[in-house]
Amino acid sequence: MNRIAESELIINSRGAVYHLDVRPEELATTIITVGDPDRVAAVSKHFDRVEGKYQHREFVTHTGFIGNKRISVVSTGIGTDNIDIVLNELDALVNIDFETRMIKPELTHLSIIRVGTSGSLQEDIPVDSFVASTHGLGIDNLLNFYRQDNNDEEQFILKEFANHTQLSSGSFAAPYIASAGASVLKHFVEGFHHGITVTCPGFYGPQGRVLRLPLTHPDLIDKLTGFRYGNHRITNFEMETSGIYGIGKLLGHHCLSLNAIVANRVRKEFSKDGAAAVEQLIQKALSTIASI
Ligand code: R1P
Ligand code: URA
């Protein structure tokens, strides 16, 4: 095994990984990710004890305890470009020895649970309801930079998605897919819709929103809503899940994305109190996470 060079894994003068500014001993093995840096405190206010707070740029981390369960909550900012940074640095913190810069012989498998907001693509999944993503299907290109490893079902879903939406033709990057960590997903059944979450490289055009610019795919919402593969359908879209599932799974972590639905794009509705829905999802997620 090779020593990882200073240019590849950047460790600052505090001995912390560059973007997150967190040291290995400052991170728990159960991690909640949120997009909004202000949502970190909205999660850690429920901790019995906060052990440490760290921040660099949009990456805020609070580590603490609920009972005996040690949890870190980390903000990612928006988008899978940020997820590339956060997932690789979280993994480095547990699986690379910062002294020797070598991969550790025994790997740690993190539990990584996203608590975020999302837009529903189905009429029967209303605003203020919750979705646990069975799969992250990315149209954002991130995983095309890594060697992927899909099972048969994932490949079939992907093929049908490409046929149905034509989103892999012309100038579009190939869509990719990864499944939720089954060992985590099984704890989030009651009170959650389950389905495929599509991860987009933007909030407006890439999610079919028209303000002043005409779109190349004006039928995107209809195509996503109408997609079926066996019992699978696309429940919602947002901007991080496929990156978390894709990179997380390749690195051996157990990942789950929990979504508070703030918009319903079929009914054209937006939540009257998205903050309350997010707070409810945080509480629901924490009570389950503390017990597993
Ligand atoms: C867009 O408003 C943001 O909201 C969703 C999207 O994925 C994107 O990050 O998630 P968060 O609420 O976690 O930020
Ligand atoms: N986040 C998204 O990315 N899209 C939505 O419609 C709502 C939240």
Residue 3 within any structural domain of the chain:
no
Ligand 2 centroid from CA 200, angstroms = 9
pLDDT class of 274 with cuts at 50, 70, 90: very high
Q: Cα of 272 to ligand 2 centre, how many Å?
A: 15
Share of the chain above pLDDT 70, in %: 100
Find the CATH number of the domain harbouring 198: 3.40.50.1580
One-letter amino acid of 107: L
Any domain includes 228? yes
**pLDDT value of position 243:** 98
Pocket probe for ligand 1: among 117, 118, 270, the residue whose CB has the most ligand atoms within 8 Å is 117
Report how many domains make up the chain. Answer: 1
Residue 2 lies in a domain: no
Ligand 1 centre and the CA of 50: distance in Å? 25
Checking if the pLDDT of 170 tops 80, the result is: no
Q: Is residue 248 part of a domain?
A: yes
How confident is the model at residue 130, as a pLDDT? 98
Instruction: Give the DSSP per-residue string, the chain.
Output: -PPPPTTTS-B-TTS-BTTTTB-GGG--SEEEEESSHHHHHHHHTTSSEEEEEEEETTEEEEEEEETTEEEEEEE--SSHHHHHHHHHHHHHHHHEETTTTEE-SS----EEEEEEEEEE-STTS-TT-EEEEEEEEE-SSGGGGS-----HHHHHHHHHHHHHH-TTSTTPPPPEEEE--HHHHTT--TT-EEEEEEE-S-SSGGGT--SSS--S-TTHHHHHHH-EETTEEEEEEESSHHHHHHHHHHTT-EEEEEEEEEEETTTTEE-S-HHHHHHHHHHHHHHHHHH-
Q: Average of pLDDT values for 199-220?
A: 97
What are phi and psi for residue 36, nearest 5 degrees?
-80, 120
Q: What is the pLDDT of residue 167?
A: 84
8 in any annotated domain: no
Atom 5 (ligand 2) nearest CA = 119
Contact 234, 198 (CB under 8 A): yes
CA geometry: angle 267, 273, 278, nearest 5 deg: 100
- Is the confidence at residue 65, as pLDDT, over 90? yes
Q: What is the mean pLDDT of residues 70-87?
A: 98
Of the listed ligands, the closest to the CA of 207 is 2
For residue 85, what are the domain limits? Answer: 24-291
Residue 93 lies in a domain: yes
Two tokens, residue 63? 């580590």
pLDDT, tens digit, 9 for 90 and up, residues 4-37: 999 999 999 999 999 999 999 999 999 999 999 9
In this structure, which residue's CA is closest to atom 3 in ligand 2?
238
Identify whether 112 is part of a domain.
yes
Q: What is the reported pLDDT for 285?
A: 98
Pocket of ligand 1 (CB under 6 A): 34-36, 78, 116-117, 203, 238-240
In a domain, 10, yes or no: no
Predicted local confidence at residue 25, as pLDDT: 98
pLDDT tens by residue, 129-159: 999 999 999 999 999 999 999 999 999 999 9
> From the CA of 120, which ligand is nearest?
2
**Percentage of the chain surpassing pLDDT 90?**
97
Q: Is the CB of 241 under 6 A from ligand 2?
A: no
> Would the pLDDT of 168 be above 80?
no
The pLDDT assigned to 55 comes to 98
